[in-house]
């Protein structure tokens, strides 16, 4: 009679305290967690700041090829000095002199990408007031209506030509890097989500096991008192009860830390989260050639390979263009006028103002500095090419291995799910048989361990499944479910 009552209590306990029951808390799914992480996480803020920095860098580069207009002015420049003036009789008389200079200059410049020089036009007006002891005050005006100038630092190296090749690649690389960063955030969010989810479920398992152990321990004490079981069996049940109690305490500490970590990562105010167990995705196959094609088309690495090679070639061209023979061109043409009678008179008779200067620099003997610099740049370029070849092989191999792993992971998930169902059902049957006295405590403990291990194995397989899915997205920047590329617009305007 007592056994029947105890059996009813156990069944009622199992109904009231199901394995995955969770108290009042904020419910959140894996998809919602990833969306939050891509809007509020510290990693998202870092990725956005890097993206903005690169965006404005590219804007700055493009603006550098537009006309630049600037107004410079000195209002005023004052100086006081003592000049030694020789008198007619040969004596020298010191004279205090005060000079006040005021000028304004309008300057328009334009970088010339084709040649690598800078073309500029300027207009300026200068007023000079010079006064001293025992000398009349003189005011001079100098007016330049226009001055046309062209300067070029080197005739054999065009920096602008290389920048036109490299800067757009840096901009494209930044955009792709931002998308990859978002996919990395998805992957990290997935890992943190499953870390907490597994701890939540393990905590529920620990609490359920403790409740069951408490009830079964009480039943065992009744059986021992009635002489139906040996003392050794009772001690084993007591040990199981104590271990289950310790497991509840230990899991609560780990659960607290994981909850705080996920809440902080997602930018949530509460750490009392209830995570849903994600379902597996609809089955889809990934063709290796398709994955490689999308990765080469979408990943930043492909752009990075080209950019690294161009930067090394640029450095080699710079050294070759400046180390052997250095030619600098500076040409100027314009008009100017000067007046010491008044401002109105300066706008009159203009004189030519022109000149051309070509500077030549030839190293005669530099102890091999120029030659060694060229050799270093060439060696760096060869090293970059070698590293790029190896990086390309690693790039393709990573994708090949992951596509193969993706196909296997679906089968492993299906097997572990079936094993979990079998283990849970087996434990329920074993527990009922133990209550009825048909199996030993050893069999019950083994069944419990198999059940708990099967649940953890399934959760690990489910985590690997979702991690593999987001890794596949990160490696290819392609969504194989919707069959479209992942772009910055999908993230920023989602």
What is the DSSP code string of 424-475? HHHHHHHHHHHHTT-S-HHHHHHHHHHHHHHHHHHHHHHHHHHHHHHHHHHH
Assigned domain for 231 exists: yes
Kindly tell me the burial class for residue 55, based on how many C-beta atoms sit within 10 Å of its own C-beta (0-12, 13-18, 19 or more). Answer: middle
- Residue range of the domain that includes 223: 2-57+164-307+384-492
Residue 76: inside a domain: yes
State pLDDT tens for residues 373-394.
Answer: 888 989 999 999 999 999 889 9
For range 272-295, the mean pLDDT = 84
- Does 223 score more than 50 pLDDT? yes
213 token code pair: 């152990």
Say if residue 150 is in the same domain as residue 11.
no
Check whether residue 29 and residue 169 sit in a common domain: yes
Task: Identify the residue with better confidence: 363 or 2.
Answer: 363
Are residue 87 and residue 173 in the same domain, yes or no? no
pLDDT of residue 185: 92
pLDDT, position 11: 36
> Does residue 313 form part of some domain?
no
**Range with top average pLDDT, 92-96, 218-222, 415-419:** 415-419
| 16 part of a folded domain | yes
> Does residue 274 sit in the same domain as residue 391?
yes
Residue 339 banded pLDDT, cuts 50, 70, 90 = low
Tens of pLDDT along 161-176? 999 999 999 999 998 9
- Does 376 fall in a domain? no
Dihedral over Cα of 161, 163, 169, 175: its sign:
negative
Provide the pLDDT confidence category of residue 134 given band limits of 50, 70 and 90. Answer: low
Say how far apart CA 89 and CA 456 lie, in whole Å: 111
Kindly state whether residues 148 and 170 are assigned to the same domain: no
Residues 172 and 289 in one domain: yes
Residue 357 DSSP one-character state: E
| Shared domain check, 199 and 173 | yes
pTM above 0.85, yes or no: no
**125 and 33 inside one domain:** no
Q: Are residues 205 and 265 in the same domain?
A: yes
Considering the domain architecture, whether residues 98 and 134 belong to the same structural domain is answered as yes
Identify whether 373 is part of a domain: no
The chain-wide mean pLDDT, for the chain, equals 81
Residues 284 and 390 reside in one and the same domain: yes
Question: According to the model, what pLDDT value does residue 321 have?
Answer: 80
Q: Evaluate whether residue 464 is within a structural domain.
A: yes
Report whether pLDDT(21) > 50: no
Residues 196 and 286 in one domain: yes
Q: Is 317 part of any domain? A: no
Q: How many domains does the chain have?
A: 2
Write a three-state SS string for 259-270: HHHHHHHHCCCC
């Amino acid at each position: 009679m007592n056994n029947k009552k105890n059996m009813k209590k156990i069944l009622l306990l199992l109904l009231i305290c199901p394995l995955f029951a969770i108290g009042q808390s904020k419910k959140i799914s894996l998809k919602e967690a990833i969306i939050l992480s891509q809007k509020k996480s510290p990693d998202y803020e870092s990725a956005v700041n890097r993206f903005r920095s690169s965006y404005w860098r590219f804007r700055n580069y493009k603006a550098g090829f537009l006309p630049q207009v600037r107004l410079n002015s000195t209002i005023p420049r004052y100086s006081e000095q003592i000049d030694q003036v020789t008198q007619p009789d040969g004596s020298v008389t010191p004279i205090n002199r005060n000079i006040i200079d005021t000028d304004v200059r309008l300057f328009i410049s334009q970088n010339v990408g084709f040649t690598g020089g800078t073309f500029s036009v300027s207009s300026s007006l200068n007023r000079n007031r010079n006064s001293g002891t025992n000398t009349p005050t003189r005011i001079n005006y100098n007016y330049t209506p226009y001055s046309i100038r062209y300067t070029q630092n080197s005739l054999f190296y065009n920096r602008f030509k290389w920048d036109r090749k490299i800067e757009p690649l840096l901009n494209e690389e930044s955009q792709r890097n931002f998308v990859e960063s978002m996919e990395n955030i998805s992957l990290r969010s997935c890992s943190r989500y499953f870390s907490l989810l597994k701890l939540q479920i393990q905590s529920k398992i620990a609490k359920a096991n403790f409740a069951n152990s408490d009830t079964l321990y009480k039943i065992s004490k009744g059986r021992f008192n009635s002489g139906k079981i040996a003392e050794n069996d009772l001690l084993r049940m007591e040990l199981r009860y104590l271990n289950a109690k310790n497991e509840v305490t230990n899991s609560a500490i780990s659960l607290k830390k994981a909850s705080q970590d996920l809440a902080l990562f997602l930018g949530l105010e509460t750490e009392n989260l209830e995570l849903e167990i994600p379902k597996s995705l609809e089955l889809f196959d990934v063709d290796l050639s398709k994955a490689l094609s999308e990765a080469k088309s979408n990943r930043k690495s492909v752009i990075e390979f080209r950019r690294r090679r161009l930067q090394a070639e640029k450095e080699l061209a710079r050294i070759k263009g400046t180390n052997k023979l250095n030619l600098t061109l500076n040409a100027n043409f314009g008009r100017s006028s000067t007046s010491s009678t008044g401002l109105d008179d300066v706008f009159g008779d203009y004189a030519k103002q022109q000149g051309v200067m070509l500077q030549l620099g030839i190293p005669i003997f530099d102890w091999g500095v120029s030659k060694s610099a060229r050799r270093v740049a060439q060696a760096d370029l060869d090293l970059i090419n070698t590293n790029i070849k190896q990086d390309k092989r690693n790039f393709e191999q990573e994708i090949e291995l992951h596509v193969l792993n993706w196909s296997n992971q679906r089968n492993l998930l299906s097997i572990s799910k079936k094993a979990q169902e079998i283990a849970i059902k087996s434990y329920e049957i074993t527990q009922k048989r133990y209550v009825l006295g048909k199996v030993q405590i050893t069999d019950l403990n083994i069944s419990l361990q198999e059940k708990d291990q099967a649940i953890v194995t399934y959760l690990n397989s489910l985590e690997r499944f979702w991690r593999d899915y987001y890794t596949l997205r990160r490696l290819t920047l392609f969504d194989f479910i919707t069959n479209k590329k992942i772009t910055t617009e999908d993230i920023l305007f989602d």
